[in-house]
Amino acid sequence: MDLFRSFMVIMVLCVSLIVKGAGAAGGHGLSYGFYKSTCPQAEKIVKDQVTKIYYIHGNSAISFHRNVFHDCAVTGCDASLLLESTPQNRGEKESERNFGMRNFKYLNVIKAAVDRECPGVVSCADIVVLSGRDGVTMLGGPHFEVKTGRRDTTLHTTDKDADRYLLDADAGVDAFLDNMAKLNINTPQAVALIGSHTVGRVHCVHLVSRLYPTVDITLNATYAEYLKMRCPSPHPDPKAVKYARNDPITPMRFDNNYYKNVMQMKGLLRLDNALYLDPRTKPYVQRMAKDNSYFFQQFVEGMSILTEHNVLTGNKGEIRKHCEWVN
């Protein structure tokens, strides 16, 4: 699963966010426990479904988490990512920047479960955020409260919108930090958000440029040989199941092992190792490698900003009956 996109997204994404709850673009109209009177069991139902699905398909938790970044990054946290293509528009899912996104079917399962309890009350946008939060928890990451009350967009965004807002695989530290600065995301929060690379996988399509025809000099030589075994061809088939885990030690555990790997030059993407080599980000990589609680703290702060980005509330948007289609 190409987590890097999710975390590049993150960075671009968090571009217009302000701290939790502040300002119109930063979650105005959201609240904790938004559904306490209209659907009091909503969050519990989502959590129960995420847990049930996780034990059927463990990678679903990573998909749920990744959805948050890829949805919120383009037009805001409005479930635009979930819309299917139409004869007039290629949806966001069709973007090459969303390569490897999957398991959308499970969001439909969660939506159906919630609607059995409270028909037409809980938005797909909130289900994306809640399932993403609970997916992190299932993987051993921090549990944190999120505001709810988002509504679903009625506008069809396209693959071109996703291309515009999601960063490319080869983005470097300069582009990364520039985007963060524009979004009022500080450096430690940004470094923590990309720490989500601690779970998931990267398809060989996005690895081979570091391996062929010559190995990237910032890549650990021994690790490069391992990656060549995972990706033996410089021209991998995009449809083939050829990938490397972001963290070969604890691939399904949301922990600070990502930073330990990066300090050994074992990051899969160019940006990963570059974060340790750049003096602006290196101190935070080092601190998060030593202190998992600090990583979690900064991650939660970043996620609080991310999940409140450019939301639709009140009478804006709608509550979709089916997450893939506008009503």
74 in a labelled binding site: yes
* Vertex 71 angle, CA 28 and 292, to 5°: 85
Q: For residue 201, give the nearest of 147, 265, 248 by alpha carbon.
A: 248
250 in a labelled binding site: yes
Place of tokens 């900064």: 298
235 in a labelled binding site: no
255 in a labelled binding site: yes
DSSP annotation of 92 reads G
161 in a labelled binding site: no
Catalytic residue among 57, 65, 70, 206: 70
317 in a labelled binding site: no
57 is catalytic: no
b/e burial code for range 39-77 (CB count within 10 A of at least 16 → b): beebbebbbebbeebbeeeebbbbbbbbbbbbbbbbbbb
159 in a labelled binding site: no
Task: Outline where the chain has alpha helix (H).
Answer: 3-13, 42-56, 60-72, 105-117, 124-138, 159-165, 173-182, 187-193, 221-230, 257-263, 270-277, 282-290, 292-306
Q: Which residues are annotated as a binding site?
A: 71, 74, 76, 78, 80, 92, 197-198, 247, 250, 255
Q: Which residues are annotated as a binding site for Ca(2+)?
A: 71, 74, 76, 78, 80, 92, 198, 247, 250, 255
Q: Which residues are catalytic?
A: 70
Q: Which residues are annotated as a binding site for heme b?
A: 197
